[in-house]
Structure 1
Amino acid sequence: MVLLAQASDITREAFWQISHAGELVFYYLTIVAVLLFAYGFYRRVERYRQGDEDPFERLDDLVDRIVEATKIVGSNVKQFDRDFFAGLMHSFIFWGFLALLMTTTIVAFEMDVWVKLLQQDRFFVGDFYQSVSMMADIMGFVFVVGMAMALSQRYVTRKDRLWGEHTRLEDDLFVWALFLLGVGGFLQESIRIVGAGMPEFETVSVVGYALASVFTGLGMDPEMAATLYRPLWWSHALLALGFVATVPYAKPVHMLTSYANVVTRDPKAGVRLPGVPEDASPEEIGTTDIEDFSWKQLLDHDACTKCGRCTSVCPANQSGRPLDPRNVILDLRKYGRELEAGETEEIPIISGEEESVIDPETMESCMTCMACVDACPVEIEHVTQFTEMNRRLTESGAMDENVQEAMMGLFQQGNSFGEPEAQRAEWTEELEFDIPDARETEVDYLWYVGDYPSFDDRNQKVARSLARIFEAADVSYGILYEDEKNAGNDIRRVGEEGLFEMLAMENIETFESVDYDQMVTTDPHAYNTFKNEYEQFGWERGDDVVHYTQVVEDLVESGALPLEGTELDTRATFHDPCHLGRYNDEFEAPRAVLDSTGAELDEMPRNKSDSYCCGGGGGGLWLDPDEDEKPAEERIREALEDTDGGEDVDQFVVSCPMCMTMYEDGAKSGGYQDDIEVVDLAEMVWDALEANGAAESVAAD
């Protein structure tokens, strides 16, 4: 019985059935494996050290970074996003692997350090041995289940995102090696238990003992177990040592680089982009050679696990444009490794005139929606690298003609329509009141209207609705009239950094000449760049920038807008704009405002941080790409077919001028214009105020 056994007897022999010569061979192979691992790891680190300095701080507050990264990696929160099965699978593998690694470390430390080097009595005995054995068996079983789930996804259901042009034999070897290590460990344990005579204290090894019971029931005796154990032990040991040795050279390296990538991530990656060094010549702007990548970007390349999550959520890829975010990162990694090994000739990273690693059309296709960055479980910063490549194309003159035309209008007139700045405020002429001039009077809210609400007919209606809302709430606000210029968010993201900097400096000069408490923007794109990027040019009021939905929410809560008891007779769904939601984590304000109108809300299946882009970002509004289906068409189809309301949804609600333009066009091109109405949230609020009689008071004023 267990109670009668001596504690020192409750343990296992580490090298059972292995001769002293076998032990020496094992230690020799272990040293070789560790040295190969160390050399490979050193080569990786040296490669990163050769990269450029990163423009953003990556190692500040290192303890906090490590703690936060450990939370992200340990919780597998990114794996659960959009795919519960994959999240559960990865959690099983991750925690099972760590438990088995911990057990192996205990055994190795006891035998190789504690007993053989320090000449101490064994400690892996008694209750400690049984506790660890039970934990290792349970978590080892969890690990094997996780690996079985991974094999099922890869070979049975054949999930599309796991396969691609960069799929290699190493991907198969990686999953099979881990699965065989888990299964082989249990087989080895069960045969050892049979060979030891089925001691009762080993019942805590729940899986191993159960398998041992099966084997004894099939007729296996201790002598047979001893015969089978030696080849099984060696096959398991060689597989494990081979795995350790190849970690830095193949796919298993992501177990190291992924964690390092999460530690060194920029929480605002893509939200704010790095500037161009002041002394950079045109030939030095953007990414030309592999040496132009920063060490963090090289780490990005190595951290990629080929999981395909980025590609599966990319609206450009889904609409048939030639962009696969995963392949871009893997193409760069492949080229870098081949160049380092002397297996390829040096060519430009991207070029509009000659052969290059990345096709220019792929970068022109990017909508900078940030879905790829948000979906990546290892925090690869795709958009930052894509923008650097777009800068190279821009500097070399390889820019789409439509984008060039918009850039010329911006350069000459300060707006993407190329209209005279004197006409910027003509939309106000149909209002029943005058909008104060913020250049001449102190205001609480400086309203940055934006290009589309100023010059586009459909968005002008939105601007007038918002102006009437401000009047109804009796707030102190004003606009800049002809002194307002484009904010530059999308200009920067198509690679035109010089024009962006010019506009930023002009806007900052104008903003600093005005007396206001907060700036409110109609456009989430302007909201993002004012809030997160103008700081690079010395402007320190980014925290005072708000989106109009945030202001209206405050006005409703304070009672300044008489909406209590309002019930608009409509069924609506709401689209989260990328630059307000995924970029800046503002999801609740627009929903609170929509709720205040009394409209019935049916959430989109892809909502909040998982929202699907309208297709207008990254210069998409100025392009005429060859697409299988416009992202806006797919999104409206989703509203009418995949929401709870389905065909009963009356209104598709947006809170972004670019979204309004794209969805109005998508409704027409997709044949949905008679099925659903595209409206801005500001228009819904004004409709609700009209229903409550507020329109009369504004007209009277």
Structure 2
Amino acid sequence: MTVPLQTTTRPTFWQIGPVGKAVFYYLAALALLVFAFGVYERLTRYTRGSDEPFPRLDALPSRILSGARLALTNAKQFDRDLVAGVMHTFVFWGFLTLLIGTTILGIDMDLYRPLTGESFFVGEFYLSYSFVMDAMGLLFVVGVGVAMWRRYVRRTDRLHGRHTAREDDYFLGALFLLGVGGYVTEAVRILGTSAVRNVSFETWSFVGWAGKEWLAAAGVSPEMAAAAYPVIWWSHSLLALAFVAWVPYAKPFHMLSSFANVVTRDEKAGKRLPGVPEDASPEEIGPSEIDDFSWKQLLDQDACTKCGRCSSACPAKESGRPLDPRDVILDLKQYREERDAGGEAVDIVADGGTSVVDSATMESCMACMACMDACPVEIEHLTHFTEMNRRLTESGQMDEHVQDAMMNVFQQGNTFGEPERKRPDWTEELDFDVPDAREEPVDYCWYVGDYPSYDDRNQEIAKALARVFEASDASYGILYEDEQTDGNDVRRVGEEGLYEMLVEDNAAAIQDCEFGRIVCTDPHSFNTFKHEYPEFEACEWEGDDVAHYTQVVADLVETGRLAVPATLTDTVTYHDPCHLGRYNGEFEAPRALIDATGVDRVEMPRNRDDSFCCGGGGGGLWMDLEEEAKPSEERLREALEDTEAGATVDRFVVACPMCMTMYEDGRKTGDYEDDIEIVGVTELLAEAIAAESAA
């Protein structure tokens, strides 16, 4: 018998009665109050943090739309882990659908029916509603099941750490019980009501219908189902209300804090770092107390879901250095909660002794931003780390090797401690004069950098680039001895005062020249000139006025000003430098130049955004760190064993002077000297051009 559409609906509060309904609404109101109070406490806690140096709430509507797009697509969840991405998408969309569905039912019951005397929860709407809720609820249960399998059966490493706690188990368990409990409640209701009405239309609730069939096959009668229904309904309802009340007080809060974190994110986070207030005393530079962190940094700590994506992406952790980005963020959160509960105050960061974070942990950071790139909720780890490095610097606890490098910069303007007059000595070995940008107008003011100026191996990179510029007849020039260290890594090890001095000196030297664009050999220089120098009054250029040499040379090739003959036949692989690729999204220009030379290029397994750091960033180039395996050695092993070409790779191509230094060292310490050659992009280009000339 066909059921009329106007009667195709389900009974609400079936078998519960008026008293039970009143009790439910009372408990629901109580749960919402507890929830609201918890959220209010969280928000007021953030106000105790320091001021945020960058705008976080400007253009709020567009921020919310952008954050919603990122959250709804789950785009970052798929990075580096497809299974986790699918799993989280199932959970997220399933939970969101169930929440929306429950809200729709509430609107019908508590607003529409009292106002109109009718219900829209009938007919085709109800049938469609039932199908969608069952389908998305099923995805939710499957997603939670996969999450439990990865955590408890497969025991995925990154999901476990010293901050793994019972709340993680309770959270997953509650989600699973809510999902399964909803279907059990539905199945029992369908079976129980089948004794008094035609329920054939409930096949649209296909999961609940299947459950009803299983119960009937197991010998459960409609009368038994009707008798059990109130107990099952109350069990499910009380768990749901308890979950709502629990959200602001434990791990479920990440469902709110993560979205807030995405909305308030800084698109340039890590690329540029916050400065230090002009009137700050040494004691005020870097965090001494937990509330010295900004409100956004406190929100970062609450947004962490313990997923471990940052941990698995961190090259410092993989190399055996004492850094786990997740633990640092969660250590700070745990300390904040202990202090709020009356716990003892200790140093935020210190060299030995009792502190929240040990100095060796911060010294391990390569400032590669892999943790931030991997984080699905936009935690800005590097701002926390830099602030703590500043505290170490101001309290005299900086690594001694870094101190030596900083003293060299202060006294000589370079990390090598060499006289300024020797900076342009590499130009004397060329058979042409390198133009002086201080004396004539140029299209490209070429900032050479420390390593291409003073390091023997990297001088070959500088000379090769000069030959490429000459071959293209480009208008270029260098600053000769007026150039100083760019300061990108000076800033990231915590020497903010010295960095600001370098900004003033370099900006003055460059702006005394007449030029079109600034061209940098080093991606580190490129990053700080593009994103950080323009933040200072001393600097008059904009970020778009700065380019990396691969971008400029690729443009010269594309416009026909430079012909690169395909004369080389080697098999090569290319390493994406962190500051060029992950920081600034430049992946194609170096590849286009490499391919133009005729070589057979194979990709590294970890490439582009997922590239693995050489180990030199964040001051690593100046330190002597204990490591299980140097990042540079691991990267060369990867090139020779894990690429498609394997051991037939002849050359490992780099586009960063720091990478060149680290990989030449890794080639020696890893015993790869006879297996692979390290070569710069400019060297490949110059070699290809020279080969044609020789022919």
Q: Normalised by the shorter chain, which TM-score bucket?
A: over 0.9
Does residue 153 (structure 1) correspond to residue 150 (structure 2)? The answer is yes
Give how far 1:517 is off: 0.5
Give how far 1:396 is off: 0.5
1:459-478 correspondence runs (5 A): 459-478=458-477
1:435-477 Cα offsets, whole Å, 9 max, x none, are 0111111111111000000000000011111110111111111
- CA distance 1:354–1:279, change in 2 (3 Å): farther
Q: Which residue of 1 aligns with 2:544?
A: 543
Judge conservation of contact 1:33–1:244 (CA < 8 Å) in 2. yes
Secondary structure at 1:692's aligned position in 2?
helix
Letter in 1 for 2:348: I
Q: Which residue of 1 aligns with 2:163?
A: 166
1:200-279 correspondence runs (5 A): 200-279=200-279
Q: Which residue of 2 aligns with 1:121?
A: 118
Letter in 2 for 1:559: G
Measure the CA separation in 1 of the matches of 2:74 and 2:641.
31
Measure the CA separation in 1 of the matches of 2:38 and 2:527.
41
Measure the CA separation in 2 of the matches of 1:318 and 1:312.
8
Q: Which residue of 1 aligns with 2:582?
A: 582
Does residue 96 (structure 1) correspond to residue 94 (structure 2)? The answer is yes
Of the structure 1 ranges 51-60 and 19-28, higher mean CA displacement relative to structure 2 is found in 19-28
Measure the CA separation in 1 of the matches of 2:276 and 2:19.
62
Secondary structure at 1:602's aligned position in 2?
strand
Q: Which residue of 1 aligns with 2:430?
A: 431
Measure the CA separation in 2 of the matches of 1:562 and 1:41.
62
Judge conservation of contact 1:562–1:692 (CA < 8 Å) in 2. no
Measure the CA separation in 2 of the matches of 1:92 and 1:338.
35
Does residue 393 (structure 1) correspond to residue 392 (structure 2)? The answer is yes
Of the structure 1 ranges 189-198 and 347-356, higher mean CA displacement relative to structure 2 is found in 347-356
1:144 is aligned, of 122, 141, 144, to 141
Q: Which residue of 1 aligns with 2:559?
A: 558
Give me the TM-score of the superposition, normalised by structure 2: 0.98
Give how far 1:7 is off: 3.1
1:85-121 Cα offsets, whole Å, 9 max, x none, are 00000000000111111111111222223334x3621
Letter in 2 for 1:84: L
Measure the CA separation in 1 of the matches of 2:109 and 2:222.
25
Give how far 1:543 is off: 1.4
Judge conservation of contact 2:91–2:141 (CA < 8 Å) in 1. yes
Measure the CA separation in 2 of the matches of 1:468 and 1:430.
12
Q: Which residue of 1 aligns with 2:612?
A: 612
Of the structure 1 ranges 283-292 and 492-501, higher mean CA displacement relative to structure 2 is found in 283-292
Measure the CA separation in 1 of the matches of 2:639 and 2:685.
21
Q: Which residue of 1 aligns with 2:53?
A: 55
1:449-468 correspondence runs (5 A): 449-468=448-467
1:258-657 correspondence runs (5 A): 258-342=258-342, 344-352=343-351, 354-538=353-537, 539-541=539-541, 542-564=543-565, 566-657=566-657
Secondary structure at 1:425's aligned position in 2?
helix
Measure the CA separation in 1 of the matches of 2:452 and 2:281.
37
Q: Which residue of 2 aligns with 1:194?
A: 191
Secondary structure at 1:146's aligned position in 2?
helix
Measure the CA separation in 2 of the matches of 1:217 and 1:244.
35
Q: Which residue of 2 aligns with 1:178?
A: 175
Secondary structure at 1:358's aligned position in 2?
strand
Q: Which residue of 2 aligns with 1:679?
A: 679
Judge conservation of contact 2:141–2:180 (CA < 8 Å) in 1. yes
Letter in 2 for 1:551: V
Give how far 1:354 is off: 4.6
1:18 is aligned, of 16, 19, 29, to 16
Measure the CA separation in 1 of the matches of 2:225 and 2:249.
36
Give how far 1:653 is off: 0.4
Moved over 4 A (4+): none
Measure the CA separation in 1 of the matches of 2:272 and 2:581.
15
Give me the TM-score of the superposition, normalised by structure 1: 0.97
Judge conservation of contact 1:363–1:390 (CA < 8 Å) in 2. yes
Letter in 1 for 2:336: G
Judge conservation of contact 1:575–1:607 (CA < 8 Å) in 2. yes
Letter in 2 for 1:523: D
Give how far 1:200 is off: 1.2
Unaligned runs of 5+ in 2: none
Secondary structure at 2:145's aligned position in 1?
helix
Measure the CA separation in 1 of the matches of 2:54 and 2:19.
54
Letter in 1 for 2:451: Y
Q: Which residue of 2 aligns with 1:699?
A: none
Measure the CA separation in 2 of the matches of 1:215 and 1:369.
56
Of the structure 1 ranges 189-198 and 445-454, higher mean CA displacement relative to structure 2 is found in 189-198
Judge conservation of contact 1:81–1:375 (CA < 8 Å) in 2. yes
Give how far 1:690 is off: 1.2
Secondary structure at 1:618's aligned position in 2?
helix
Of the structure 1 ranges 211-220 and 477-486, higher mean CA displacement relative to structure 2 is found in 211-220
- RMSD (CA atoms): 1.1
Give how far 1:560 is off: 2.0
Measure the CA separation in 2 of the matches of 1:114 and 1:549.
63
Judge conservation of contact 1:556–1:596 (CA < 8 Å) in 2. no
1:366-394 Cα offsets, whole Å, 9 max, x none, are 00000000000000000011000000000
Measure the CA separation in 2 of the matches of 1:657 and 1:332.
35
Aligned pairs, how many?
Answer: 690
Of the structure 1 ranges 191-200 and 59-68, higher mean CA displacement relative to structure 2 is found in 191-200
Q: Which residue of 2 aligns with 1:109?
A: 107
Of the structure 1 ranges 28-37 and 132-141, higher mean CA displacement relative to structure 2 is found in 28-37
Give how far 1:28 is off: 1.7
Measure the CA separation in 1 of the matches of 2:58 and 2:244.
31
Measure the CA separation in 1 of the matches of 2:289 and 2:59.
31
Give how far 1:214 is off: 2.1
Measure the CA separation in 2 of the matches of 1:256 and 1:470.
53
Give how far 1:555 is off: 1.4
Quick one: percent identity of the two aligned structures?
A: 62
Measure the CA separation in 2 of the matches of 1:355 and 1:169.
26
Give how far 1:481 is off: 0.6
Q: Which residue of 1 aligns with 2:64?
A: 66
Secondary structure at 2:356's aligned position in 1?
coil
Secondary structure at 1:409's aligned position in 2?
helix
Judge conservation of contact 2:352–2:359 (CA < 8 Å) in 1. no
Judge conservation of contact 1:352–1:396 (CA < 8 Å) in 2. no
Unaligned runs of 5+ in 1: 697-701
Q: Which residue of 1 aligns with 2:73?
A: 75
Letter in 1 for 2:59: D
Give how far 1:218 is off: 2.6
Judge conservation of contact 1:319–1:630 (CA < 8 Å) in 2. yes
Letter in 2 for 1:520: V
Judge conservation of contact 2:479–2:510 (CA < 8 Å) in 1. no
Give how far 1:683 is off: 0.4
Judge conservation of contact 1:144–1:183 (CA < 8 Å) in 2. yes
1:209-264 Cα offsets, whole Å, 9 max, x none, are 12212222233221011122111111111111110010000000000000000000
Measure the CA separation in 2 of the matches of 1:233 and 1:672.
67
1:272-309 Cα offsets, whole Å, 9 max, x none, are 00100000001101111111111100100000000000
Measure the CA separation in 1 of the matches of 2:369 and 2:219.
60
Measure the CA separation in 2 of the matches of 1:692 and 1:567.
7
Judge conservation of contact 1:415–1:486 (CA < 8 Å) in 2. yes
